[in-house]
Amino acid sequence: MMQLVVLSGFVLAAAAPFLFRWLGDRTAAIMALFPAALVLWLLAQWPTVVAGEPLWLEMAWVPGLGISLDFLIDGLSLLFALLIAGIGAFVLLYAGEYLRGHPDLPRFLVIITAFMMSMLGLVLADNLVALFVFWELTSITSYLLIGFNHTDLPARKAALQGLLVTVAGGLALMAGLVMLAIAGESWSLAELATRGDSLREHPLYTPMLLCVLLGAFTKSAQFPFHFWLPNAMAAPTPVSAYLHSATMVKAGIYLLARLQPGLGGTELWIVILSLVGALTMFTGAFQAIRHINVKKLLAYSTVMALGTLTMLLGIGTEGAMVAFVTFLLAHSLYKGALFMVAGILDHETGTKDVTAMGGLRRVMPLTATVALIAAFSLAGLPPLLGFIGKELMFESVLDASHLTALILLLAFMAAFLTIAVAAIVALRPFFGEPHQTLRVAHEPPLAMLAGPAVLAALSLLLGLVPGSLDGLVGVTVARLGAGEASVHLALWHGINVPLLLSLAGLVLGWLVYRRWDRVRARLAYLDPLMARGPEAGYDALMAALVRLAEWQTRVLQNGYLRNYLAVTLLVLVALVGHAFFFRHAARFDVSIDVYLHEAVAVGLMIAGAVAACLMKSRLAAVAAVGVMGFSIALTFVLFSAPDLAITQLLVETLTVILLVLVLFRLPRFANLSAPGERLRDLIVASAFGLMVTLLMLAVLAGERLPRISDYMVDNSQPQGHGHNIVNVILVDFRALDTLGEIFVLALAAVGVYAMLRFHAAEGSRPATKRPRASDDGE
Amino acid sequence: MEPLMAIAIGVLFACAIYMMLRRSIVKLVIGLMLLSNAANLLIFSTAGMVRGKPPLVPEGLAAPLGEVADPLPQALVLTAIVIAFGVLSFAVVLLRRAWEIVRTDDLDKMKDTDT
Amino acid sequence: MVRSGTLILNVAARFLLPLQLLFSVFLLLRGHDEPGGGFIAGLVAAGAFALYLFAFGLRALRAMIRVSPRDLVGFGLLFALLSTLPAWWQGEPFFTSQWWTVPIIDYKASTPLIFDIGVYLVVLGSVLTAITALTETDREHDA
């Protein structure tokens, strides 16, 4: 049911260009109704899910392999699906305005709708294979989105970088998921969640965990793979808003949360996730204040948030899980709003440089209000949802069982840097002295303001009435394996350590903001060091890959047909030979039971083949091949294959006709190769021939398996009504094969005809010159 | 009989490969012909060779009396022979076109013509 | 290369062609019970036409068969595909063979036979396409 909705979303995506032709500029707004309707449907499921009854939607896909398209809607997937569909609706609406008049708007709508549906499928799927398919679909669609401005070199480069990083991780993930399914004996996420104990004991636990983490970390831009995310800012702003608030980058986080009950809780899990998460968190916040491009600032703060989420999953206590869910929701709301505000600024002023903007609150008061609310949530100020999220985060870091001091330090630094980032993004452009900008700024159209306004309002509302989330957070945390939690979110927790940390952070953050220009100048000294970061490693790897490709093209793909052939054959011989002598005690059947006339036929066959190789003239070579063909036909006659014998004879005859028509228009045989080359080729050929002989002898000596043709022999007359079993096989038992074969034959004929026809059509340039060959032909 | 065939097939394959490794494109085509015949024989004889018992059901019976030659490889090889002919005709026409355009039958010289 | 042949060849081709074609149809129809069938019959017919081509040239062959060899290929594929459909009509899986007895001559007609006719036409058409196309361009060269 829901599956069909998601799939029909893909159909909608494909239909977007046609809709656009029909509906024009309203298309985006009308398409936004689709995710909006999904939001309503999901909200209708809220009470059931919160009551602790996940929704199962079954759908078979490949039942034979245990692969299904079952959807599971529990707290976690409901939360994600709501964010995806909800923010998706606003992003579509926003994109319609932002890209109004852009020639490629229809293409954008196609990709972003497909992306949205892939993401929905990813968070709803219960089956590992289905999840992986949707996972890769998000990688591909996001590649297309980042590279949307495909005439722009940096955009293409960033798109490729994002794709390569996430897809490389995707490969590791696939291996990890397969190991997971083997260890847990199930492809179902819900099943696996209940098998945590046996999974953690399993010998494959460590490799499986590392593979899955690699997939999740690359997708969710964790250190040291974080570099692709800020580069992905080459995308149009609605894309950035969508990719970096609700969706793609959270896919890895989602997966980790899903697998937490099955794989989490071990020392390895806790240490890796907390450490990587905390490092990512700090790196993101630190890198953010080095940039003046508003989108880069926000992108790095997203890296910070993703690190926080990973760290919380690593800590894994009940409190950490509550913090995880709250922080996730808060981040999606404010980051979506801020990216769309950034887009508005870009759209209205024509620049992305925050230092070039100022005093905009006078011309765009509404936008300024929205930006301020969202930024307060980012900074973690009361009474916004972001505040609750941050307090809970500090609380669970203080409770952490491993590396407490280190991650607390990193978390604190990240927190005050984030406050500075929030101030830079929301205060700098709107307050202070007005700047001259490229365009004269004014309030954006309603369609662009609606999304950020609603998201910011939600940040505020949920912050004021956090109790409304208790149910969803509680049931989600329970599904995450942290016990039956009855959760009460509140703004005011009394005066405690987290609050004091927040206060200290606020003061420090404000100081950084006030002296930002100087801080940035100081940090510029670090630039040479930064240039040696993980991205430099990526660049070096890509350069090495290109060099490797050039090298192997030079050595292997050198354009000499016989080199390809010789290499392929020698590898084959080596592999078969290895299997032969090291894997099997090769036994050969060498019992010879031959009549003289049979031996003569086989002898003629061999003589014909060898003579064909030795003959100096074409006619003699063709005649030798003919001798071989006729002795093969004779063999068929002697060994009970009348149909084959007839066919072979007829084909031999027609082959001669064909060769007469073609071969004698070509030049004479010439010895083009040096004796050394001929010797080398002789060795390759002999090795291959010997391999075939030995292989066949070994097969003959092996155990005879029951013939599948016994059925055909027994049923040819009763069921096929035919006495010639070979023919019954061809036209009845295996008629589908024959159908394929006659299609091949037809294709060959069409190819022959086309090749000769086209040349006649192209003005018969070669035909005007008489071929030299016919002059010196035999 | 099969061991003898194994030797013959090995020789056929060796001849086919040797011819396909030549620089002359005409020899390449002859190599292709040898190769398809060798492959057909391989399928045919690996299934076991039976003298004088073609896979035919005698008139008035529902199944042949006693063991007959395996019909399935015969069916496979029958289509393979005809398809090999189709492929051969494609190959020789391709060869002729190549000759008409680039005026050489040396594969090493042909490698630089497709720019 | 290919020009009209000698007297003996001409006479032989003229008389052999109908016989060979008749033989090919015979091979086709009996193929289900005796050695023969669509592949073999198609090759025999193609050989017969090739002989005629060598004796009388391309134009004479065209005038005689009237249909383009490529159309034969198309018709063959069509026949083969059509033979798969009656099974659907009967509610059976695709390609299940269907048998009917033709009254009076008591000949068993079937979808496999239709299929075999398709094979016959494809083989005949393909071989003739290759040979006539080659002869045709030869003619351009020789002109």
CA dist., res. A199 & res. A19, Å (int): 49
Q: What is the mean pLDDT of residues B17-28?
A: 88
Closest approach of A547 to chain B, Cα-based (Å): 22
Q: What is the mean pLDDT of residues A488-515?
A: 79
**For chain A, how are helix, strand and coil distributed in percent, rounded to 5?**
75, 0, 20
The pLDDT value given to residue A763: 46
Closest approach of A584 to chain B, Cα-based (Å): 19
Q: Which chain A residue has the Cα nearest residue B105?
A: A667
Q: Considering only A267-276, A383-392, A659-668, A758-767, which range has the smallest mean pLDDT?
A: A758-767
Subunits touching B (CB < 8 Å, at least 3 pairs)? A, C
| Residue A35, amino acid | P
Instruction: Say if residue A662 is exposed, middle or buried (CB neighbours under 10 Å; 0-12, 13-18, 19+).
Output: buried
Cβ-defined contact of A662 to B92 (cutoff 8 Å):
yes
Asked if residue C80 belongs to a domain, the reply is yes
pLDDT digits (tens, 9 = 90+) for A224-253: 888 888 888 877 888 887 877 767 788 899
Closest approach of B77 to chain C, Cα-based (Å): 12
Q: List the structure tokens of A728.
A: 């019954």
The pLDDT value given to residue C42: 93
Does residue A762 have a pLDDT over 70? no
Does residue A482 have a pLDDT over 60? no
Q: Which chain B residue has the Cα nearest residue A635?
A: B41
Q: What is the mean pLDDT of residues A81-103?
A: 87
Q: What is the mean pLDDT of residues A277-281?
A: 91
Q: What is the dihedral of CA A313, A315, A318, A320, to 10 degrees?
A: -70
CA dist., res. A115 & res. A118, Å (int): 5
The pLDDT value given to residue C4: 53
Q: For residue A585, name the pLDDT band (cuts at 50, 70, 90).
A: low
Q: Which residues contact A186 (CB under 8 A, 6 or more apart)?
A: A66, A192, A195
The pLDDT value given to residue B115: 44
Number of domains present in the structure of chain C:
1
Instruction: Say if residue A631 is exposed, middle or buried (CB neighbours under 10 Å; 0-12, 13-18, 19+).
Output: buried
Assess C39–B contact: CB distance below 8 Å, yes or no.
Answer: yes
Other Cβ atoms within 10 Å of A623 Cβ, number: 16
Backbone angles phi, psi at A147, to 5 degrees: -90, 25
Q: How many CA atoms lie within 13 A of B11 on its CB side?
A: 19
The pLDDT value given to residue A765: 46
SS3 state at A566: helix
Asked whether the beta carbons of C107 and C101 are under 8 A apart, the reply is: yes
CA dist., res. A366 & res. A188, Å (int): 47
- C-chain residues near B56 (CB < 8 A): 33-35
The whole-model pTM stands at: 0.70
Of C53, B37, B99, the residue nearest A658 (C-alpha): C53
Handedness of CA A403, A406, A410, A412 (dihedral sign): positive
Q: Give, in order, the Cα–Cα distances in Å from A242 to each of A53, A67, A333.
A: 29, 30, 11
pLDDT digits (tens, 9 = 90+) for A592-636: 778 888 899 999 999 999 999 888 888 888 889 999 999 999 999
Assess B89–C contact: CB distance below 8 Å, yes or no.
Answer: yes
The pLDDT value given to residue A772: 41
Q: Which chain B residue has the Cα nearest residue A563?
A: B21
Burial state string for A433-447 with b = 16 or more CB within 10 A and e = fewer than 16: eebebeeebeebeeb
CA dist., res. B70 & res. C78, Å (int): 31
CA dist., res. B2 & res. A162, Å (int): 58
Residues constituting chain A: 778
CA dist., res. A298 & res. A291, Å (int): 10
Cβ-defined contact of C39 to B89 (cutoff 8 Å):
no
pLDDT beneath 50, residues of chain C: 1-2, 143
Asked if residue C1 belongs to a domain, the reply is no
Give start and end residues of each alpha helix (H) in A185-247. Answer: 189-193, 196-201, 205-219, 228-231, 237-241
SS3 state at C97: coil
Asked if residue C116 belongs to a domain, the reply is yes
Q: What is the mean pLDDT of residues A51-69?
A: 79
Q: For residue A768, name the pLDDT band (cuts at 50, 70, 90).
A: very low
Which helix (H) or strand (E) segment holds residue B9: the answer is helix B2-20
Asked if residue C133 belongs to a domain, the reply is yes
CA dist., res. A365 & res. A718, Å (int): 88
Asked whether the beta carbons of A274 and A314 are under 8 A apart, the reply is: yes
Q: Considering only A130-134, A372-376, A479-483, which range has the smallest mean pLDDT?
A: A479-483
Q: Give, in order, the Cα–Cα distances in Å from A51 to each of A55, A78, A329.
A: 11, 13, 20
Q: What is the dihedral of CA A679, A683, A684, A685, to 10 degrees?
A: 90
The pLDDT value given to residue A68: 82
Asked if residue C93 belongs to a domain, the reply is yes
Share of chain A above pLDDT 70, in %: 94
Assess B93–C contact: CB distance below 8 Å, yes or no.
Answer: yes
Q: What is the mean pLDDT of residues A49-63?
A: 79
DSSP string, A347-361: HHHS--BGGG---GG
In B, residues 16-35, which contact A (CB 8 Å cutoff)? 16-30, 33-34
Asked if residue C105 belongs to a domain, the reply is yes
The pLDDT value given to residue A774: 38
Closest approach of C15 to chain A, Cα-based (Å): 19
Q: Give, in order, the Cα–Cα distances in Å from A221 to each of A49, A94, A154, A213.
A: 30, 26, 19, 12
Burial state string for B28-52 with b = 16 or more CB within 10 A and e = fewer than 16: bbbbbbbbbbbbbbbebbbbbbbee
Q: Which chain C residue has the Cα nearest residue A768?
A: C141
Q: What is the mean pLDDT of residues A202-207?
A: 89
Asked whether the beta carbons of A713 and B54 are under 8 A apart, the reply is: no
Q: Which chain A residue has the Cα nearest residue C28?
A: A727
pLDDT digits (tens, 9 = 90+) for B50-106: 888 888 888 888 888 888 888 999 999 999 999 999 999 998 888 888 887 777 777
| CA A705 to chain CA centroid, nearest Å | 43
Asked whether the beta carbons of A32 and A72 are under 8 A apart, the reply is: no
The pLDDT value given to residue C128: 92
Question: What is the average pLDDT score of chain A?
Answer: 84
Cβ-defined contact of A606 to B2 (cutoff 8 Å):
no
Asked if residue C2 belongs to a domain, the reply is no
Asked whether the beta carbons of A481 and A264 are under 8 A apart, the reply is: yes
Asked whether the beta carbons of A332 and A246 are under 8 A apart, the reply is: yes
Assess C134–B contact: CB distance below 8 Å, yes or no.
Answer: yes
Assess B60–A contact: CB distance below 8 Å, yes or no.
Answer: no
Mutation site, C107, C116, C126, C135, interface A, largest A CB count within 10 A: C126
The pLDDT value given to residue A775: 37
Q: Which residues contact A452 (CB under 8 A, 6 or more apart)?
A: A90, A336, A337, A338, A340, A341, A344, A367, A370, A371, A374
Of A277, A323, A283, the residue nearest A299 (C-alpha): A283
Burial state string for A376-389 with b = 16 or more CB within 10 A and e = fewer than 16: bbbbbbbbbbbbbb
Domain encompassing residue C123: 7-142
CA dist., res. B95 & res. A664, Å (int): 12
Asked if residue C15 belongs to a domain, the reply is yes
- B-chain residues near C77 (CB < 8 A): none
Closest approach of C17 to chain A, Cα-based (Å): 16
Residue where the block lists tokens 């409901």? A78
Q: Which chain B residue has the Cα nearest residue C130?
A: B89
pLDDT digits (tens, 9 = 90+) for A286-319: 888 888 888 888 888 889 999 999 999 888 888 8
pLDDT digits (tens, 9 = 90+) for A336-350: 888 888 888 888 887
Q: Which residues contact A235 (CB under 8 A, 6 or more apart)?
A: A145, A146, A148, A155, A158, A243
Residue where the block lists tokens 């199962």? A56
Question: Bridge partners of A293?
Answer: A353
Of C33, C43, C73, the CB nearest to A647: C43
CA dist., res. C53 & res. C47, Å (int): 10
